[in-house]
Structure formats: structure tokens, C-alpha cells
Amino acid sequence: MKYRELTILVILLLTIAIFSSFTQQKEERVKITKQNLMGAYGGDEETENAYFGIYKDSIYYPDSNIWIKYQLKGDTIVITNYDNSIEKLLILKLTTDSLVVNNLNYDMENHLNRRTH
């Protein structure tokens, strides 16, 4: 009887371990390059539109329907707006699933989710 209970317990623990490994999100940090930055970013994917999309040399803001050129200088995105004001976004974290930036103009940290579709 003890052997059977032990076997059931081991099977149950293995099942839980296997199931939890499939359900965990795998966030992999990636090198900060223009290629790795490309994509759409926003807050809650279920209820919100993307805030912006980063392309090869421009950022697209869908709510205002504007394109703005940007430069990547090391770990900082430098945006020159139409009125020639400069905005700097320090990249704190870039993963396959998210982008965390600190807007240096306002000292405000933003956590953004990369859109999957």
C-alpha cells in the first residue's frame, strides 16, 4: 500500500512540475538593437490599442496617426519631434515580450508589453 501511495505522489508531483513549466512565460532578454526593438508596444493587450510601433527608422503612433524618426544611441532611443524638441527614452530592459523605458525628459518609467498580433 505504501508503494502505491508513493507512486501516486511522485506521478502527481511530476505532472504539476511539467504543467507549470509549460504555463510559465519565457521572457528572454535580448541585445538592444534596432532589429530587436522593432514591434508594437502597449499596455494591456486585451483592452488597449498599442501605444506605438517601432520600425527600422521611425516610430508610429496610431492614436495620432503620426510617424517620427528616431535614432538608437547605445541604450537610448532619441526622438526628434516635429517642433524640434528632443525626447530621450533610456531602455532599462528589453525582452522578447516587453520593453521597459525611462523617459529621461520626465523621469518616468514605463513598462510596455510587446504585441504578439
Q: Which string of DSSP letters, residue by residue, matches 43-88? A: S-TTT--EEEEE-SSEEEETTTTEEEEEEEETTEEEEE-TTS-EEE
Q: What's the pTM value of the predicted model, to 2 decimals?
A: 0.73
pLDDT band of residue 40 (cuts 50, 70, 90) is very high
What CATH class is the domain 27-114? mainly beta
| 3-state SS, residue 22 | helix
Tell me how far apart the alpha carbons of residues 40 and 97 are, in angstroms, rounded to a whole number.
11
Domain segments of the chain as ranges: 27-114
Kindly tell me if the per-residue pLDDT of 16 is higher than 90. no
pLDDT band of residue 20 (cuts 50, 70, 90) is low
What DSSP state is assigned to residue 29? B
Tell me how far apart the alpha carbons of residues 14 and 1 are, in angstroms, rounded to a whole number.
20
> In the prediction, which pLDDT does 116 show?
75
**Tens-digit pLDDT profile for residues 57-93:** 999 999 899 999 999 999 999 999 888 999 999 999 9
Tell me how far apart the alpha carbons of residues 95 and 23 are, in angstroms, rounded to a whole number.
18
> In the prediction, which pLDDT does 94 show?
96
> In the prediction, which pLDDT does 14 show?
67
